[in-house]
Chains A and B, each alone.
Chain A
């Protein structure tokens, strides 16, 4: 597709249930990022994929959060046993990081996000 696509756009779930959020990056983009954004705030880094490996997963807030990526394609972010504090917009971004990027500009293109509400 032309841009980063995320689904669902909205998700309402009950506390304790598991949820899966999906991200389709821009075709050919090697890097994929997940962020969390609470209402009116900046973006909180969660995890970064280069290809299908995750060199940096330091932002995942707890072991209830996990993510995987298939090759240089779709990624899913899974939140198990959801809590009310997990309510936020989850944003995905992708970028193309060439092997010899030097001081890479790392231009990230964002999807519209999934708004998660945990009741």
Chain B
């Protein structure tokens, strides 16, 4: 059973377009993180959200944590080829100690 469902699994868009990636669960998370991974490298943390309803902006990236802390979204405005990569959401649950549960990832390709 996958605790964190990411959608879409694959996304191929043209430079300049906007996109949204979703991360959903039936479980409550104490915090949720978004990572970006490029081929041959480990995931790199983009943001951590902790409070229900929280919105964080990182340049052209906007992250939102659902009010009930069960879901999150990542919105990219005016995507660029450099945004290409695997985007992973990961949740921490207070009952799981320090363990993170990762989603399956969204493979984003931005074509020039």
A42 touches B105 (CB 8 A): yes
B97 touches A55 (CB 8 A): yes
What is the total number of residues of chain B having a CB less than 8 Å from a CB of chain A? Answer: 29
B residues near A (Cβ < 8 Å) are 6, 30-31, 33, 35, 40-45, 48, 50, 86, 88, 90, 92, 94, 96-105, 107
Q: Output the least CB separation between A117 and chain B (Å).
A: 14
Residue of A nearest to B94 (CB): A103
A112 touches B50 (CB 8 A): no
B92 touches A43 (CB 8 A): no
Q: Output the least CB separation between B65 and chain A (Å).
A: 12
From A4, A31, A41, A106, give the contact of B104 (CB < 8 A): A41
Q: What 6 pairs between A and B have smallest CB-CB spacing?
A: A110-B42, A43-B102, A42-B104, A42-B102, A105-B48, A42-B105
Given contacts A97-B98, A104-B92, A104-B98, contact A4 B103 (CB under 8 A): no
Additional A-B contacts beyond A48-B97, A113-B42 (7; CB < 8 A):
A35-B102, A56-B97, A103-B30, A107-B45, A108-B45, A110-B44, A111-B42
A residues near B (Cβ < 8 Å) are 4, 31, 33, 35, 40-45, 48, 50, 55-56, 91, 93, 95, 97, 103-113
